[in-house]
């Protein structure tokens, strides 16, 4: 993949990297697919994405498309084969249709972060956005700060956290072995993994409360302070809490949320979400929805269902709340 300077890409959403070109400072969160199979024939056509573009979550850009500079593609938009999106335009729908203006409208009463308001007010007074302009320099500095947050999280915070978790598991297992021997440890191997899962849960919940507080619908500058804090908490959830839950489930722990719906709902609630009584949720429901997800009583969510309260639109991280009433079935 030919990746421009300062570009941000969700690598899981791109097939055939050699056929994709992405310009400077573009954000690609949607799916980019330069391949197509029709009547048993595989076709490959390059896709070009210009500079300062934003492809939001769950949009799909098909083979042969050209996305010119400063284009915004809204969530769940389908850009069909061979289409060219003109520069400084916004697109939505299936198939993609040009929007009159960027659709970043929110319902009356939605809370917008103060930093986002300040960001918008300052950007309205800037007529240039090149990398040498104040706005371009500010964006570059913000992305550097985000990259540093990623580095510190992945190579400092996460390794120390993992070392602490494995130490707790080792000491707990050693205590069981000293008391009951190998037979006892074999029968009670779920206790060390549960202890580490409990530690990961406590650290994750505390970090969420301290760094994010109560998450409300709104919009924040991409790579800004809130985005950086959210990245840290998301990593703790996905790389520690969920991983140790899987290990605890594999060792037969009765306290793993994969085994106990009660624990599942409890952890979901302490992370800010709301799950009603006698509700069944699939395993792939995003734990990073936090306070934005409210699910009623007696709900049944099918195995392939999920909810996505977060999206990237233009230069903003956008959060919208999701709520279901009681007695709902989602296939």
What is d(CA 63, CA 35) in angstroms, rounded to the nearest whole number?
6
CA distances from 112 to 39, 213, 232, 274 (A): 49, 15, 21, 22
- Structural domain for 69, as ranges: 2-95
What is d(CA 236, CA 201) in angstroms, rounded to the nearest whole number?
9
What are the tens digits of pLDDT across the range 193-214? 999 999 999 999 999 999 999 9
What are the tens digits of pLDDT across the range 262-318? 888 888 888 888 888 888 877 667 788 889 999 988 888 876 677 788 888 778 889
Rounded to two decimals, what is the model's pTM? 0.66
155 and 84 co-located in one domain: no
Please state the separation of Cα 171 from the chain's center in Å.
Answer: 34
Please report which confidence band the pLDDT of residue 149 belongs to, taking 50, 70 and 90 as the band edges: very high
61, 95, 129 - which closes a domain: 95
Spell out the alpha helix ranges (H) of 80-189: 114-124, 134-152, 158-187
**Residue 66 included in any domain:** yes
**Residue 189 included in any domain:** yes
Mean pLDDT of 133-149: 74
Instruction: Find out whether 231 and 149 touch, Cβ atoms under 8 Å.
Output: yes
292 and 143 co-located in one domain: yes
Residue among 322, 303, 302, 301 nearest 311 (CA): 322
Please report which confidence band the pLDDT of residue 99 belongs to, taking 50, 70 and 90 as the band edges: confident
256 and 317 co-located in one domain: yes
289 and 195 co-located in one domain: yes
Spatial strand order of the sheet with 60-62 comes to 31-33, 60-62, 78-79
64, 95, 126 - which closes a domain: 95
What is d(CA 249, CA 112) in angstroms, rounded to the nearest whole number?
39
**Residue 50 included in any domain:** yes
**Residue 11 included in any domain:** yes
178 and 46 co-located in one domain: no
Task: Please name the residues in contact with 295: beta carbons below 8 A apart, sequence gap of 6 or more.
Answer: 273, 274, 275, 276, 279, 281, 301, 323, 324
Spatial strand order of the sheet with 218-221 comes to 218-221, 316-319, 310-313
Domain count for the chain? 2
What is d(CA 219, CA 226) in angstroms, rounded to the nearest whole number?
10
245 and 317 co-located in one domain: yes
Instruction: Find out whether 219 and 309 touch, Cβ atoms under 8 Å.
Output: no
**Res 168 pLDDT > 70:** yes
Report the 10 Å Cβ neighbour count for 52.
25
151 and 70 co-located in one domain: no
150 and 298 co-located in one domain: yes
**Residue 276 included in any domain:** yes
- DSSP class of residue 224 equals S
Instruction: Find out whether 56 and 74 touch, Cβ atoms under 8 Å.
Output: yes
What are the tens digits of pLDDT across the range 105-122? 443 333 344 434 433 433
Q: What is the dihedral of CA 253, 259, 263, 269, to 10 degrees?
A: 130
**Residue 174 included in any domain:** yes
185 and 61 co-located in one domain: no
Residue that has been written with the tokens 């899962």 in this structure = 197
Q: What is the dihedral of CA 122, 127, 133, 136, to 10 degrees?
A: 60
Q: What is the pLDDT of residue 304?
A: 65
What is d(CA 160, CA 143) in angstroms, rounded to the nearest whole number?
25
27, 61, 95 - which closes a domain: 95
Buried b (16+ CB within 10 A) or exposed e, 319-329: bbeeebeeeee
67 and 145 co-located in one domain: no
Mean pLDDT of 17-36: 87
Mean pLDDT of 19-27: 89
51 and 189 co-located in one domain: no
């Amino acid at each position: 993949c030919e990746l421009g300077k300062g570009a941000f890409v969700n690598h899981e959403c791109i097939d055939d990297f050699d056929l994709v070109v992405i310009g400077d400072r573009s954000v690609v969160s949607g799916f980019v697919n330069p391949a197509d199979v029709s009547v048993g024939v595989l076709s490959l056509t390059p896709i070009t994405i210009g500079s300062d573009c934003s492809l939001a979550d769950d949009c799909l850009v098909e083979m042969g498309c050209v996305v010119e500079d400063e284009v915004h593609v809204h969530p769940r938009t389908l850009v069909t084969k061979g289409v060219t999106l003109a520069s400084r335009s916004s697109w939505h729908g299936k198939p993609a249709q040009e929007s009159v203006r960027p659709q970043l409208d929110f319902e009356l009463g939605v809370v917008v972060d103060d930093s986002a308001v300040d960001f918008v007010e300052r950007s309205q007074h800037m007529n240039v956005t090149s990398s040498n302009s104040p706005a371009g320099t500010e964006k570059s500095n913000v992305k550097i700060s985000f990259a540093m947050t990623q580095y510190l999280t992945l190579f400092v915070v996460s390794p120390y956290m993992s070392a602490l978790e494995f130490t707790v598991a080792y000491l707990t297992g050693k205590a069981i072995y000293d008391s009951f021997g190998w037979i006892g440890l074999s029968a009670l191997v779920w206790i060390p993994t549960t202890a580490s899962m409990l530690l990961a849960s406590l650290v994750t919940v505390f970090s969420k409360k301290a760094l994010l507080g109560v998450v409300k619908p709104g919009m924040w500058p991409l790579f800004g302070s809130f985005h950086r804090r959210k990245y840290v908490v998301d990593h703790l959830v996905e790389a520690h809490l969920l991983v140790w839950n899987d290990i605890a489930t594999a060792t037969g722990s009765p306290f793993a949320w994969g085994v106990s719906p009660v624990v599942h709902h409890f952890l979901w609630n302490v992370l800010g979400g709301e799950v009603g009584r006698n509700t069944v949720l699939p395993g792939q429901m995003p734990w990073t929805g936090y306070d934005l997800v409210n699910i009623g009583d007696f709900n049944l969510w099918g195995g392939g269902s999920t909810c996505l309260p977060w999206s990237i639109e233009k230069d903003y991280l956008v959060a919208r709340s999701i709520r279901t009433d009681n007695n709902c079935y989602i296939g």
